[in-house]
Chain A
Amino acid sequence: MIWQNLWAGAGLSLLVLPLLIHLLSRKRAVLQKFPSLRFLTSTRLLPTRSPNLSDIPLLLVRLAILATAVVALMQPLWVSASRKQRLNASLARVIVVDTSRSMLGTLATGKTAVDSAQALAVNLATEASASVILKTSSPSGVLAGAAAWLTVQGGRGDVVVLSDFQTGAIDFAAFASVPPQYGVRAIRVGNVPVSNSDVFLQTARSNVTAVADSGRISAEWTTANGAESSVMLLFAPGDSSKVEAARDAANIVTSPAAADSSKRVAIVFPGATETRPVQQSATAPAAEWMAPAMMRVRDNKMLWSSVANETVEDTAITAPFAVIARNQSGAPVVYAAQSIVNGATRLTFFQRSRASALGSAALFAAVSSSIAVASNLPESETNALSDDALRKLERATQDVGAGVPDGEQRVSTRSGMSDGRWLWMLVLALLGVETWMRRKAPDTDVLEAA
């Protein structure tokens, strides 16, 4: 027997109410028609309230009504053998389809691994009495939710993961978090690419092209697939080598990442010939991405530590410019705004220290990170989990039963399962009896007397 709502048992304390009512109730005088009152003389009347409980049968029925209702509220569930058998015949299944980039490879059948996995998922779903298919690029991340869904279903359940199982793409701890009574199956679909070039293109080091003329160098970060991410560098004539050195230094200290080509940035170094018109066109950042990018640069600790010892004149920076970094004396070293540079709207960072300073490299690195697309390094993995490792992940589905940890409770959580409805029917019947007894009460006294 399972009590699904045990706290409702506190309602049993209400049983004291009918006891009090029967203890304190005043007895009604029974009206009796009689042939003649000539032989009935007046008597001293008894107290109408007695210390004894009145009408015990009615009290018992009322107590039974309350107790039955409280027990019904506790939602009892009797896990009988037949009920276990019926539950074990059903199976709830969660099918997790890996839709990560590595699954986009084409199989020998001409279909992609994802398509094959989805078709297989549909077939697996038909085998279960209740199923759900989860498509995700991170199978490990949905296992907790899958387990929760199985718990709600009650009865038997399992989790089937369809993936190429790249090494590192599967979190063993997530698999372990699936409750032991639920089965786990790992089905390999597709093969991990032997070369990561296709994937790595997405995360490859950006190429920066710097074009110098008499007064400026246009340095373009481009990705191999042609997507363009432009960072324009404006500096004084003769500083090109210094700027290039700073760029190289930045590439050494930061992980290369693809840049979002839609995010255009300019960095203006001291002495750049276009500084004044750029500053004059400055406005507050309008594009949505600019403010977050500014904040990420502003939060870059390496930038702050690099410019700490820079010596610059303490100049007040006013709107629309925003200070990005200061030296240790509080003078602004880097500030930013939205400006028109070379005819395009860009998020423009103004570097007040020398181009050869450490702060320049730090600024390059910070800007590069702030506009980079998030990388997905695991997708570049070319190894897969072995079949033996997958077998260790798997386990069989366990039947519902007392021998299974939390097995009976699993049954109870199946939606709509409770024997309380029978008790409510009993309550209705008892209410009918109670009504009948209440109406019958006056005659009962007479019958008792007879």
Chain B
Amino acid sequence: MSSLSPAVVAAIDDLELAARLVVEGMRSGGHRSPFRGHGAEFTQHRVYRPGDDLKHLDWKLFGRSDRLFTRQYRETTNVAVMIVLDTSASMMFPEKGLSKVRYGSIVAAALAHLVSEQGNAVGLMTMSNGKLAYLPTRGGKPHLRSLIARIDRLTPGGAFDPALVISRGAELLRRRGLMLVISDFYDNEEDARRELRHTVQRGHDVAMLQLMSHDERALPYKGQVEFEDLETGERRLIDASAMSAAYNQNVDDFLARCRTGATRDGIDYALVRTDTPPEKALRDFLLRRNLGLPHAQGSALASK
């Protein structure tokens, strides 16, 4: 099946339909659940990360190789997946075409569809215009429809407090589960990283899907441009041509910080550009999780 272009996906008003199309598009034969839990059925080893439960350390392997590995098991019980979606004003970019918030909504809905279809529980935590919006992790189609409808009704705007949203999401994951954070991670960078680290330390599996549009990655403007901050409304008159190199360097540094922070904290990281077909981005992300690749290799998804 060929990939659905972002333009086609953006043209579909029905979020549930878009999510289903994305999910159908990313299917390629039989597959296992990409959401690994700690059930009885051993699946693979993975390099030990601080915070991993010591009871899952494979001491025999440690004796043979003198390296620490954690044993991973296929979840025999339902996995709880909490999706954290950033709907701040900065996610409304670009104004024309497929915005980051729409792209994130489609990805979130597709993930929820996938999770629910495989018998797992899925929940939603977000902040819209300063108010927390929450749906607990549950399974079943009625809940899935409710969750997708809630995503569809979200009104982007205002700022995003990642520390608050992530910490509340982690608290509401009653047992250890998976937290998927979909955001541009512009807001309160340090606080967000700290809360993500705390979430990992609580025993949850955490994945970062960092969204970035083509224009904010490449700054393709020239001449004098007056930029207006979507969140603060602040304006700044800039010679875009002269600024381009410095901007790219700043963005590269920012992305590098996000990636290395995620690596250090044992978080799955993927940089997703909104001009990438959503099902391709999801397939790559989930395939990498299935293969158990080291964390923070998601930059491959975000080729410049």
Contact = CB atoms under 8 A, between A and B. Distances in A.
Contact of A45 (B184, B221, B231, B239): B239
A27 interface: yes
B236 A35 contact: no
B209 interface: no
B224 interface: yes
Interface string A34-61: 1111111111111010000000000000
A45 B228 contact: no
Interface in A428-450: 445-446, 448-450
Interface string A68-92: 0000000000000000000000000
A450 B219 CA distance: 9
Contacts of A448: 222
B221 to A, nearest CB: 5
Interface string B227-243: 11111101111111111
A446 B221 contact: yes
B221 A36 contact: no
B42 interface: no
A31 interface: yes
A185 B230 CA distance: 88
Nearest to B254: A39
Given A40-B247, A445-B222, A446-B221, A46 B239 contact: yes
Interface string A99-141: 0000000000000000000000000000000000000000000
Given A46-B239, A450-B220, A32 B226 contact: yes
A34 to B, nearest CB: 4
A450 to B, nearest CB: 5
A36 to B, nearest CB: 5
A10 interface: no
B188 to A, nearest CB: 11
A44 B243 contact: no
A36 B222 contact: no
Contact of A43 (B220, B228, B232, B239): B239
A447 to B, nearest CB: 9
A30 B242 contact: no
Nearest to A30: B225
A35 B221 contact: no
Contacts of B243: 40-41, 43
Interface in A219-271: none
B224 A34 contact: no
B126 interface: no
A33 B239 contact: no
Contacts of A46: 223-224, 239, 241-242
Contacts of B93: 33-35
Interface in B86-136: 90-91, 93, 95, 100
Nearest to A41: B246
B251 interface: yes
B7 to A, nearest CB: 15
Nearest to B221: A449
Task: Identify which of B93, B232, B238, B254 gathers the most chain A CB atoms within 10 Å of its CB.
Answer: B238
A367 B293 CA distance: 138
Interface string A338-381: 00000000000000000000000000000000000000000000
A37 B237 contact: no
A443 to B, nearest CB: 9
A30 B220 contact: no
Contact of B237 (A35, A45, A450): A45
Contact of B220 (A41, A48, A449): A449
Task: Identify which of A30, A38, A43, A44 gathers the most chain B CB atoms within 10 Å of its CB.
Answer: A43
A44 B239 CA distance: 7
Contact of B228 (A34, A446, A450): A34
A29 interface: yes
Judged by DSSP, the binding face of B is: mixed
B214 to A, nearest CB: 9
Given A445-B222, A449-B221, A450-B220, A40 B227 contact: yes
A43 B221 CA distance: 14
B59 interface: no
Contacts of A45: 224, 237, 239
Given A40-B238, A445-B221, A448-B222, A31 B228 contact: yes
B48 interface: no
Contact of B223 (A30, A34, A41, A44): A30
A33 B247 contact: no
B225 A32 contact: yes
Interface string A16-33: 000000000001011111
Contacts of B228: 31-34
A32 B238 CA distance: 11
A445 B225 CA distance: 10
Contacts of B231: 35-36
B146 interface: no
Contact of A34 (B229, B241, B246, B250): B229
Interface in B189-239: 213, 215-216, 220-232, 234-239
Given A27-B224, A33-B228, A34-B229, A39 B250 contact: yes
B224 A449 contact: no
Contacts of A29: 223-226, 237
Contacts of A48: 224
Given A43-B242, A45-B237, A45-B239, A32 B223 contact: no
A445 B239 CA distance: 13
Contacts of B90: 35-36
Interface of A: 27, 29-46, 48, 445-446, 448-450
10 contacts: A29-B237, A33-B230, A34-B230, A35-B91, A35-B230, A37-B236, A40-B238, A40-B247, A43-B242, A446-B221
Interface of B: 90-91, 93, 95, 100, 184, 186, 213, 215-216, 220-232, 234-243, 246-247, 250-251, 254
Query: Top 4 closest A-B pairs, CB basis?
Result: A35-B90, A39-B250, A29-B224, A449-B222
Given A34-B230, A40-B227, A46-B241, 13 more contacts: A29-B225, A29-B226, A29-B237, A32-B221, A34-B216, A35-B213, A35-B216, A36-B231, A43-B242, A46-B223, A46-B242, A445-B222, A450-B215
